[in-house]
Amino acid sequence: MIGKTVLITGAAKRVGRSIARELHDAGANIVVHYRAAADAANLLVEELNATRANSAVCVQADLLDVDALQSLVSSSLAHFGRLDALVNNASSFFATPLGTIDQAAWNDLVGSNLKAPLFLTQAAAPYLRQTRGAVVNITDIHAERPLAGYPLYCAAKAGLLGLTRALAIELAPEVRVNAVAPGPILWPDDAAFDEPARARIVEHTLLKHAGSPQDIARTVRFLFNDAPYVTGQVINVDGGRTAHL
């Protein structure tokens, strides 16, 4: 990916940070998008630029503001002059048991997990066509097998999965669009899953252990680098959990 530019949303922390490091190791220039994690974003950019000068930049944007998405693409082009790949990684995740769902939850979960990827990909599409680039959306195994207590999140991710296949049609043949669906990789920062719940989830995988952010990052790298005839697909990186849910 030497000389190519990748825009990664929510890249300052967690899985997004691992994706940024993995693609940077492959030679790509990285646009680190963040919303509020300015310190983490700047630290990551400093780390990447220390390895290879002028190879990373961070850009702030609220993905729920559709008007900001074109500016996010424009900032990427202004800094590196091209856009070869987009990773729609940023995501809100919280419980919404039926009876508690309100407009704020709808706007947050659907906005971050479905609306923003659609409008950001639309803004990036002309430039991705020029470079015959690719898009990877980070979905979730619960897009197809819903998680109790999280109906709105699951519906939003299901929408993103459908959008992945629809955009693969819309952007063909110049741009490939695929998805990676994590299983138990990183637990939420809140206390939504206690230790017994985590143990039950891991026990339900075929491999009997949780994955790592690097498992997702390596799969994203594969889709960009080594899968030129793959589009409209989703790869479950879940230790085999969905094989028998």
Q: Point out the residues that are catalytic.
A: 153
> Rounded to whole angstroms, how far apart are CA atoms 106 and 69?
19
CA torsion sign for 23, 29, 35, 38 is positive
C-alpha 58, offset from chain centre: 16
* Cβ-contact 95, 197 below 8 angstroms: no
> Rounded to the nearest 5 degrees, what angle is found at the Cα of 203, between the Cα atoms of 206 and 150?
100
* Cβ-contact 70, 123 below 8 angstroms: yes
> Rounded to whole angstroms, how far apart are CA atoms 242 and 245?
5
CA distances from 209 to 212, 223, 225 (A): 10, 24, 27
> Rounded to whole angstroms, how far apart are CA atoms 59 and 25?
20
Residues contacting 117, CB < 8 A, separation 6+: 88, 137, 160, 163
In the DSSP assignment, the letter for residue 2 is T
* Cβ-contact 96, 152 below 8 angstroms: yes
- Identify the residue whose tokens are 């659907």: 110
Amino acid at 227: A
